[in-house]
Structure 1
Amino acid sequence: MTEHHRYGYHPWPERARWTWPGGATLAVYLGLNLEHFHFGEGLGAELAPGANGGGGPQPDVLNYAWRDYGNRVGAWRVLEMLDELALPCTVLANSAMYRHAPQLMAAHRARGDEVAGHGRTNSERQSTLPEAEERALIAEATETIAHHEGTAPRGWLSPWIAESRATPDLLRAAGYRYTLNWCSDDQPVWHSTRAGRLLAVPYGQEINDIPAIVARKDGAREFAEMIVDDFDERLRQVRDGRAQVMGIALHPYLIGQPYRLRALRGALEHILRRRAEVWICTAGAIHDHVLTLPPGSVAGDAV
């Protein structure tokens, strides 16, 4: 069988017991995707079948405009909600956002939100590129973020979660310390790369508005109920002392629609009623805490 050789099998019952800051056993973070798309070409999620999914001609104005609503309006409403609820977030930013919506990126910078790399644009997949071109893509996105934020990002989420066989190696060599591409666990897992180890921080693919709303056609309240049920079940599960991560993945062109935002706010308020029992954080803070744990605490420590 073909294997990836990034990490070994670590059954859940054999995991070590440890805690997040404050003695919490559940860490919760928001991954807010800020994305920009080419007009008239490339990839993009669809509100309705258009040029990419239905065979119609480009430019696909309907779906382009729907996605752009997220940056023009939806993301600002999400920001207001985050401020109201005093919630941090990890911004997963296409580097094109600094040119397309600089005020939006500045607003997150003013809040002190973490910015992680998310490629140049979600109109492309890095997994289709030759290794040298993928390396250049990572370098271009990283340099843009570092220029505007004053520090290079430590985390990366590939557009469309697309990896080549070399992506983890290229990320680690470029200075990245964690990846959000792998949803294979409820705890962080160390992955091996040619340049050293890279931490995989769990990123939600179930509690994620694109698979839920675009793919499965779940309604706003169904998605909110998923968040609540996932949170409540995890709180029950972590009574066994094995720490977990709950990542909530959001896209402003979806969740920034008023009726969806209202439902999301209710789900987040439910989580916050248990704030004293959980650690509300960023993906980068999860990485930093893992570095403080005793050797052998996290799966893949030996790589």
Structure 2
Amino acid sequence: MSAFAPVPDNDRFPYRAIGARPDFHWPGGRRLAVYIGFNLEHFAFGQGLGAGIGPASPQPDVLNYSWREYGNRVGAWRCLELFDTLSLPAAALVNTALVDHCPELLKAVVERGDELVGHGHSNSFRQSDLGEQDERALLAGCRERLAALQGGRLPGGWLSPWISESPLTPDLLAETGYDYTLNWCHDDRPVPMRTRSGRTLWSVPYPQELNDIPMIMGRQMEGPAFAELIIDHFEEMLAQSAGQSLVMGIALHPYIVGQPHRLRHLRRALRHIVERRDELWITTPGAICAHAQGLAPAQP
């Protein structure tokens, strides 16, 4: 093979520079869409994957398990109180194991009117380890369980646990009825993706920089710096959006930002954003996808 042969590339979307695409507006003539991706996750006790506040211990790893469980028992409720105070909608990215573990938390999210997004059954396990039939069953089953929580309304979006995909994940998402995926962080605008059935699956931008796991746990950035990161990101995107409509997602995990010392700084960052509410479309990824679907196919 030639040393200069083309390298393998994805077959889901072509390369298109962001400045070379047709312009469009979000509802109300807004230029910047902002959403919160609120990760509600459940982890198996004594097995599987999970973020850690300390070095992993032999199972059962009580330290890291109980730290993550703080998010469901305390942190998520504190975050919801903050969202209520600021009149902020959210997209709840839900592990369906929570339906049995703490149904009252999911009931609170549904009663707020938040969007439910499929996020696997548990973040202890990678979707990419599944064969085609098991992966299809996971996608379909999670969709049905979430629909049962909200009067039969089927969720349209998906985020894989640990952003783990098989080569067929976009195809299976389209075939099981999903409209969009949050797995890909390659753009600041929605991107249509090809699938084997011919049905378009939309990629809605989901952040890996504006995300508390990689920034706080991975890069050891604490609450004040993470809040400044959100504010700086927001101000720069708002300025950039004068030339083209953009999407800004904020990815939050309540066992991390729901800790009191971090929640105080998250409150400051979100207040900064809502003070500019009249200039923004504060929304959900499902609404972003629906708007993109209504545009001319080549626009995003």
By the TM > 0.5 criterion, same fold?
yes
Q: Give the drift of 1:178.
A: 0.3
Give the Cα separation in 1 of the matches to 2:168 and 2:157: 16
- One-letter identity of the residue aligned with 2:191: V
Q: Give the drift of 1:129.
A: 1.2
Q: Give the drift of 1:249.
A: 0.2
Give the match for residue 301 of structure 1.
none
Matched, 1:216 2:210: no
TM-score by length of 1: 0.95
Give the match for residue 38 of structure 1.
44
Q: Give the drift of 1:297.
A: 1.2
Give the match for residue 247 of structure 1.
249
Give the Cα separation in 2 of the matches to 1:239 and 1:106: 38
Out of 3, 13, 16, which is 1:7 matched to? Answer: 13
Report percent identity of matched pairs.
55
What do the CA deviations read for 1:36-93 (whole angstroms, capped 9, x no partner)? 0000000000001113xxxxx1100000000000000000000100100000000000
Give the match for residue 131 of structure 1.
132
Give the Cα separation in 1 of the matches to 2:194 and 2:74: 40
Give the match for residue 83 of structure 2.
82
Out of 182, 190, 193, which is 1:191 matched to? Answer: 193
Give the Cα separation in 2 of the matches to 1:220 and 1:151: 36
- One-letter identity of the residue aligned with 2:241: V
Q: Give the drift of 1:135.
A: 1.1
Within 5 A, what are the aligned runs for 1:1-303? 1-51=7-57, 57-149=58-150, 150-195=152-197, 196-240=199-243, 242-298=244-300
- One-letter identity of the residue aligned with 2:27: P
Q: Give the drift of 1:295.
A: 3.7
The answer to whether the 8 A contact 2:39-2:253 is kept is yes
Give the match for residue 54 of structure 1.
none
Give the Cα separation in 2 of the matches to 1:5 and 1:48: 39
Q: Give the drift of 1:13.
A: 1.8
- One-letter identity of the residue aligned with 2:236: E
What do the CA deviations read for 1:246-284 (whole angstroms, capped 9, x no partner)? 000000000100111110010000011111111000000
Give the Cα separation in 2 of the matches to 1:102 and 1:197: 33
Q: Give the drift of 1:296.
A: 2.2
Count of residues in correspondence between the two structures: 292
Give the Cα separation in 2 of the matches to 1:129 and 1:296: 34
Query: What are the ranges of 5 or more consecutive residues in structure 1 without an aligned counterpart?
Result: 52-56, 299-303
TM-score by length of 2: 0.96
The answer to whether the 8 A contact 2:110-2:149 is kept is no
Q: Give the drift of 1:182.
A: 0.3
Give the match for residue 4 of structure 2.
none
Query: What are the ranges of 5 or more consecutive residues in structure 2 without an aligned counterpart?
Result: 1-6
The answer to whether the 8 A contact 2:192-2:201 is kept is yes
Give the Cα separation in 1 of the matches to 2:149 and 2:279: 35
